[in-house]
Structure 1
Amino acid sequence: MIENLDETHDPARRSFVEAANDADSDFPIQNLPVGVFSNTADSALRVGVAIGNHVLDLKKVSLASERFAEPVRNALQESSLNALFALGRSAIRDTRRIIGDMLDHGSSGNQVRRHAADLLTPMEECTFHVPTKVANYTDFYAGIYHARAAGALLTPEDPLPANYKWIPIGYHGRASSVQVGPGGVRRPLGQRPPAASGAVPSFGPCERLDFELEMGFYLATGNRLGRPIPINEASDEIVGFSLLNDWSARDIQRWEMYPLGPFLSKSFATSVSPWVVITDALAPFRTAALSRPEGDPRPLDYLFDVADQAGGGLDVHLRVLLSTEKMRSTDERAIEILTSNAKYLYWTPAQMVAHHTINGCNLQPGDLIGTGTISGPSSAELSSMLEFTGAGLNPITLANGERRGFLQDGDEITFRGRCSRQGFASIGFGSCVGRIESADLSIARANH
């Protein structure tokens, strides 16, 4: 059942920005994701909206129009989205509607069309920045197919933790190393597990560098310390979604993760896409939560809401593409190595928020939450190299003959996401890109 639809979802709507009307555009007028950008003409960071192949400068637009409420206008003068998100879902919904009206093909009399050259910047002239000043980043483990596949490599007889079907498992990541893609990801250094029982660990560059295909979502007003967010209110705290790559150093992780979980194997980098697709834009693409097999427990009451079970999932088709240094040297295009879908999450985003705060933990505007790796039930939908190469034992062979068990220096990983449904305009998330840079070997030699 699709709810909360309005004129902003009308598939017949068109923008005067012609590229937004292309059927394959990620950013039609029905989308209007927000982000932070700068350009060569103005190096100041400011809030923008993606429309077709352009970025609309919301700082300038809000100053030129009386349609924006004063709190929104003030928030749009900031260099991040935190202040805007802090106004909550209702204010952001109204802002999206106003922007859509301004970009509509029938808007011949408004400021945007009259001053398009000043207010719209081609994307290729823009530099994009992390959308919010991320104070807190939490990563969950909500993809059950990933949990099973990864767990089977360690404990094949019992791959899922005993608590997996009872609580959304997560850990607190490092907010300071969240970066926007495209960007370089330096291969981390660290301790690697001993080669044999009783041997000493080695030190050096990670030898099993991996990606994890996830989605991220950003928080709105948050909650006061000691006041949990009820499950039936949790979805109102989710402003929007992006693509997220939780880079992982598998060998370092294997050695360090017991008993407290990942540390250096995750904290070196997390990449997010530049655009935050507003939750309201995703209304046509909501889906039921993943159906639980017979015998699985019903979530405890604080994690169960009928409406969330009926429409708390998202139908987002996800793709991972790989480009190697050798491929780029011969002008070969990146190749798709796997696909998946956000609907495969065992726990919904609202359940993650409710669980995160049940102990009284206070979430803040602009906080980032990762879903965990979103693998699917088939072998073509295993969304990390750890899974689809069997921890490197079964490397994939690329069309040019190169083989990969894990990522090598110069490899570039691109995530893409797109929503499609009969009767609605398709929308996308843009891309999240990261290229592996070699480790700083001078540090490795100094510690050898």
Structure 2
Amino acid sequence: MKSWLPIPAGSHFSLANLPFGIISTDNKPTRRPAVAIGQNVLDLKAFADGGGFRNLQTLPSENISVFSETTLNAFAALGRPSHKAVRAYLRDIFRGDTPYSDALKTNEVLKHDAIIPLSEVQMHLPLAIGDYTDFFAGRNHAHNVGTFFRGPSNALNPNYNHLPVAYHGRASSVVVSGTPLRRPWGQALASPADKTPEFRPSKRLDIELELGMFLCRENKLGEPVSISDAEDYIFGYVLMNDWSARDIQQWEYVPLGPFNAKNFGTSISPWVVLADAMDPFKTNGLPNDIGLQQYLRESRTDNILDIQLTIAIRSKLPTSTSKFSP
């Protein structure tokens, strides 16, 4: 599918994606929603104010105001059908054979107001985060971390194959990628044989490439969400770096789990890839030989996202870059 707006080959922000985020600019410092496309963004407030959504019949006029908010929370709260309709409409707007040429393609005034180079925008947290739960979801990752703490023979605790293992993190320290973070201080053992810890900066600061998920619906206090309805609660995904001070974590995590070793900062990418955009990447997960209890059994087997990611680590001393795929 080609766009009338130039998109570099291999761009992560193609018509197949169109992720949502929150931007500001020097001439308009108020934060507002946008979508990324190629080397540009579409300012959704300017687009909405200019009548850009007039052809989207499935979006009631009273809901257009969500694109004037300073976070994506109001848009997310509209629900999955609205997310899908808006994304599909914006894709049609940018198609080379768009059926809505006068909405943007031939509307020079609105193009000038609403299309902004990526290099000219500042990115912000896409949603206000009220709560944050960190899941121990990757089996290989869980085995590697468990080996570090307890050895390979006891890497996975008995409960791992039976239920989702997670802890509540600090929502207030989730920051957008690029935000500087201070190396944490805490108690750690100088050597495994020591019994008394010392208070010092972490010497084993670790990164964790993870996938973050934003939810778009709430449930009443104490009211469970069935596994068959869970998909309807997913707004979209971001990349996440769950910074971890392993030496501090090793000393403090018994018996209640991570604390200062994890809560000093969690970085997320600023663009939210909508759940519908990820559907083509669904596949089967790793086999689990232990039968799950009924409330955790899913009807669909392609319940895992197959995403190829590469990490690049750049060091100042000496200057080098290492790349690997998890």
Q: TM-score by structure 2 length?
A: 0.92
- Structure 1: distance between partners of 2:155 and 2:70: 44
For 1:38-83, what per-residue CA distance to the aligned partner results, in whole angstroms no more than 9, with x for missing partners?
A: 1122111110000001110011112222234234312111100111
- Structure 1: distance between partners of 2:201 and 2:178: 22
Q: 1:117: Cα distance to partner?
A: 2.1
Q: Look up the match of 2:77.
A: 86
Equivalent position amino acid for 1:62 in 2: A
Q: Is the 8 A contact 2:93 2:101 kept in 1?
A: no
Q: Is the 8 A contact 1:72 1:91 kept in 2?
A: no
Counterparts of residues 254-265 of structure 1 (less than 5 Å): 254-265=250-261
Equivalent position amino acid for 1:43 in 2: P
Q: 1:149: Cα distance to partner?
A: 1.8
- Structure 2: distance between partners of 1:271 and 1:98: 30
Q: 1:16: Cα distance to partner?
A: 1.6
CA RMSD of aligned residues (A): 1.7
Q: Look up the match of 1:46.
A: 32
Does residue 75 (structure 1) correspond to residue 66 (structure 2)? The answer is yes
For 1:300-319, what per-residue CA distance to the aligned partner results, in whole angstroms no more than 9, with x for missing partners?
A: 11111121xx2211111011
Q: 1:257: Cα distance to partner?
A: 0.4
Does residue 111 (structure 1) correspond to residue 103 (structure 2)? The answer is yes
- Structure 2: distance between partners of 1:221 and 1:40: 33
Query: Which residue of 154, 158, 168 corresponds with 2:154?
Result: 158
For 1:99-121, what per-residue CA distance to the aligned partner results, in whole angstroms no more than 9, with x for missing partners?
A: 11222223473332222221111
Which structure's relative contact order is higher, taking Cα pairs within 8 Å and 6+ residues apart?
A: 1
Does residue 273 (structure 1) correspond to residue 264 (structure 2)? The answer is no
- Structure 1: distance between partners of 2:26 and 2:309: 32
Q: 1:134: Cα distance to partner?
A: 0.5
Q: Is the 8 A contact 1:288 1:312 kept in 2?
A: yes
Equivalent position amino acid for 1:225 in 2: L
- Structure 1: distance between partners of 2:233 and 2:102: 32
Counterparts of residues 184-333 of structure 1 (less than 5 Å): 184-193=180-189, 195=191, 199-292=195-288, 296-307=289-300, 310-326=301-317
Q: CA 1:298 to 1:110, structure 2 compared with 1: closer, same or farther past 3 Å? A: farther
SS at match of 2:22: strand
Q: 1:23: Cα distance to partner?
A: 3.1
Q: Is the 8 A contact 1:195 1:201 kept in 2?
A: no
SS at match of 1:186: coil
- How many residues end up aligned between the 2 structures? 316
Does residue 139 (structure 1) correspond to residue 110 (structure 2)? The answer is no
Give ranges in structure 1 of 5+ residues lacking alignment. Answer: 1-12, 341-448
- Percent of residue pairs identical: 38
Does residue 149 (structure 1) correspond to residue 140 (structure 2)? The answer is no
- Structure 2: distance between partners of 1:175 and 1:196: 32
- Structure 2: distance between partners of 1:319 and 1:179: 21
Give ranges in structure 2 of 5+ residues lacking alignment. Answer: none
Q: Look up the match of 1:373.
A: none
Equivalent position amino acid for 1:192 in 2: A
Q: 1:155: Cα distance to partner?
A: 2.8
Q: TM-score by structure 1 length?
A: 0.68
- Structure 2: distance between partners of 1:197 and 1:285: 47
Counterparts of residues 171-182 of structure 1 (less than 5 Å): 171-182=167-178
Equivalent position amino acid for 1:211 in 2: I
Q: CA 1:148 to 1:70, structure 2 compared with 1: closer, same or farther past 3 Å? A: same
Q: Is the 8 A contact 2:283 2:306 kept in 1?
A: yes
Q: Look up the match of 1:382.
A: none
Q: CA 1:198 to 1:100, structure 2 compared with 1: closer, same or farther past 3 Å? A: closer
Equivalent position amino acid for 2:19 in 1: P
Q: Look up the match of 1:129.
A: 124
- Structure 2: distance between partners of 1:165 and 1:88: 32
Q: Look up the match of 1:398.
A: none
Q: Look up the match of 2:14.
A: 28
